[in-house]
Amino acid sequence: MMNRFECAYRWRGVLMAPPYLALILVTLAETEHDAIVWPLGMGVFAAGVGLRIWAQMHLHYRLRVRKKLTTTGPYARVRNPIYIANTTMLLGLTFMSEVLWFLPVMLLWCMAVYSLVVRREEAHLSEKYGEPYRQFLRDVPRWLPRFSLRPGLATDARSFLWPSVLAELHCLLWLVPLLGKELFRSLY
């Protein structure tokens, strides 16, 4: 039987669907300041996508490259840049949904899900990589980046820029339903 950490890890993508669907379906108390919320939301969303690309350049998760313990790029500053990027993207989408009262709900949801997910990941990676990973856990903060840390050693990350951009293009699909919602509302 799966424990809650294993369950959260296995279903982590699906668990992001309920609050995202709420953004699409809820119109209660929407703000109508499109000139502010859309550019702000796009900027926050773009920052999240940019962080995902940067992380992908070092992690190579969706790329067909042999996986190794990653401690460079954003991983030299924070242990979970992908989950931070996902949260940032979802907050940007929340701005674009114009349902601003939902921002704390979205943030708390992401914090709850990803807190469970990383517990399972950390146990798994600790078994897989042993002491080097346990040292990484001691040196690098889980959620709040530490900018005073020394950067990880230089890698050939730049050669992974375009493959990483292509691997993360799917993130743009999150915009389609919100654009559809906005278009639908402007027609009626």
* pLDDT one-digit tens code per residue, 53-93: 999 999 877 667 777 899 999 999 999 999 999 999 999 99
In order of 30, 45, 70, 85, 113, the CA distances from 102 in angstroms are 10, 16, 34, 18, 16
pLDDT band at 133; cut points 50, 70, 90: very high
Domain at 30-179, CATH from 3.40.640.10, 3.40.50.150, 1.20.120.1630, 3.30.930.10: 1.20.120.1630
Give the span between the Cα atoms of 54 and 33, in whole angstroms.
31
pLDDT at residue number 151: 57
Q: Where are the domains of the chain?
A: 30-179
Please check whether residue 58 is in contact with residue 155, taking contact to mean a CB–CB distance below 8 angstroms: yes
Tell me 142's DSSP state: S
pTM for this entry: 0.90
Tokens of 105: 């709900």
pLDDT score of 186 more than 80: no
pLDDT at residue number 108: 97
Query: In 3D, which of 147, 137, 143, 151 has the Cα closest to residue 76?
Result: 151
Give the span between the Cα atoms of 49 and 169, in whole angstroms.
9
In order of 63, 98, 144, 163, the CA distances from 168 in angstroms are 10, 25, 23, 9
